[in-house]
A and B are shown apart, each in its own frame.
Chain A
Amino acid sequence: MSDETLKLTPLYAAHLEAGARMVPFAGYSMPVQYKDGVLKEHLWTRENAGLFDVSHMGQARLRGVSPLSAFEEVTPGDFIGLKPGKQRYSVLLNKKGGIIDDLMAGRPDDDGLFVVVNGACKDNDFRVIDNELAGQVRIDRLEDRALMALQGPKAAQVLVIHAPDAAKLAFMETAAIQAFGVDAIISRSGYTGEDGYEISVPGEAALRIWNTLLADERVRPIGLGARDSLRLEAGLPLYGHDLDETVSPIEASLNFAVSKKRRDARDFPGASRIAAELAGELTRKAVGLKVEGAPAREGAEIADTDGHVVGVVTSGGFAPSLGYPIALGFVPPALAAVGTELKVIVRGRAQAAQVVATPFVPHRYVRKV
């Protein structure tokens, strides 16, 4: 895709001014790193607060007579039971139980369901939802809104200066609040494993708010490169890499996204496959790997200790907070137990790897306020 056709977020000028290296991502020109570089940006976020432009992601309101129950027709989550002020992680499923996208859906107020989906998937996601739920919900895409994430142990201290009500939110809570002089939708969530917030604001106010947050010495801008290494350490999957339309939530080790109630009801797309997988008919399962030697990256084969190829790495790289390479990948369930010794094939050579628990770096979510 040529640069001419790339879309720009409302923060594009700020990225250039900050010395960002811009790359095409999800059809947008996005900052992959700033002057500090991926390693320092990653560590800064773990110790202070990192500010991310994620305005490429798709934001929408699902409105209608009963949008919560309608949303259960395309996801395996318990949305009928979603209380006001709460948000859930979920997956949009195809008829075969494969993941069309992963997403956040919440109730910041009484105005239907507020959903945030991946930028590269958003057009297809909203088309699928529109097709499946035609007549039940209306999708109002919020293309005039920007989205930024403030992540890290100092994120809360910084944000409450500008949005005092954000202090009342616990992890996975969301609220429509007046902050920075605008109508903001703020959730205490993110994609780094750290405490932090995702902040939706009107696009025309985004640059002012971005600069206001960056004026705090605890905050630095963080690019997509560190966003990827942070989410990998947090054991969080990336759509298009760890997840795709062939992967079920059970294969992806996202069992928590298939609620107990919905398992019993078996009333979601691909429910028969997912029930069978839960009963043990599973051929592959996502695991975390600690890798010795060179980083094993996406596409690297995983072998057993006899050298037989048994799986593939779906995401992998060097973990800045750990100082060694880690990976996510699929292996047969019999080889998925923590402690299992495996090999990864990097440039034709077998290197030692061990199945380890995820998250690789413990989550530091604030679950009670």
Chain B
Amino acid sequence: MRFTKDHEWVSLDGDVATIGITAYAAEQLGDVVFVETPEVGKTVTAGEGLAVVESVKAASDVYAPLSGEVLEANAALADAPETVNQAPEAGGWFAKVRISDPSAFEALMDRAAYDAFLETL
């Protein structure tokens, strides 16, 4: 699993990246009440909006950590957005994306680097 400074996580299986937000991000957001996932087939660009996650108070953008094409969105979040709080780094994933440049994955932070980054916040 790799991480971004915007608190997204990515796990890679071949050239398919599964993307979600970290436990830290989920905790900061508070109770998630709505998730807008991307449409299948959409091309996303690293650093641009991938999904929107809404708490009672506010809407927050989730950015694509890597560029690629959306293969699947997590439909279960429509009825159970709270999964993002309960299992942010597992069942609370937002989308699976076929990435165009697998080397970009390796350039993201690993767990140790992300944990060190959290210490600076």
Contact = CB atoms under 8 A, between A and B. Distances in A.
Interface of A: 32-33, 37-40, 42, 225-226, 228-229, 293-295, 297, 317-318, 320, 325, 347
Interface residues of B, number: 12
A33 B27 CA distance: 12
Given A297-B59, A317-B56, A37 B34 contact: no
28 contacts: A32-B57, A33-B30, A37-B31, A38-B30, A38-B31, A38-B55, A39-B30, A39-B31, A39-B56, A40-B31, A226-B56, A228-B57, A293-B34, A294-B34, A294-B36, A294-B54, A294-B59, A295-B34, A295-B54, A297-B59, A317-B57, A318-B34, A318-B55, A320-B33, A320-B56, A325-B34, A347-B36, A347-B52
Interface string B77-121: 000000000000000000000000000000000000000000000
B80 to A, nearest CB: 12
Given A318-B54, A347-B36, A295 B31 contact: no
B52 A294 contact: yes
Contact of A38 (B34, B36, B52, B57): B57
Contacts of B55: 38, 318
Contacts of A33: 30
Contacts of B52: 294, 347
Nearest to B59: A297
B30 A295 contact: no
Contacts of A325: 34
Contact of A37 (B30, B54, B58, B59): B30
A347 to B, nearest CB: 7
B87 to A, nearest CB: 17
Q: Is the contact region of chain A dominated by helix, strand, or loop, or is it mixed?
A: mixed
Q: Is the contact region of chain B dominated by helix, strand, or loop, or is it mixed?
A: strand
A279 B36 CA distance: 44
B8 to A, nearest CB: 19
Given A40-B31, A318-B54, 14 more contacts: A38-B55, A38-B56, A38-B57, A39-B30, A228-B57, A294-B54, A294-B59, A295-B34, A295-B59, A297-B58, A318-B34, A318-B56, A320-B33, A320-B56
Contacts of B30: 33, 37-39, 225
Given A33-B30, A37-B30, A37-B31, A225 B56 contact: yes
Contacts of B36: 294, 347
A117 B34 CA distance: 34
Nearest to A228: B57
A295 B33 CA distance: 9
A293 B33 CA distance: 11
A225 B54 CA distance: 14
A294 B57 CA distance: 13
Contacts of A297: 58-59
A77 to B, nearest CB: 32
Interface string B42-64: 00000000001011111100000
A352 to B, nearest CB: 15
B59 A39 contact: no
Contacts of A318: 33-34, 54-56
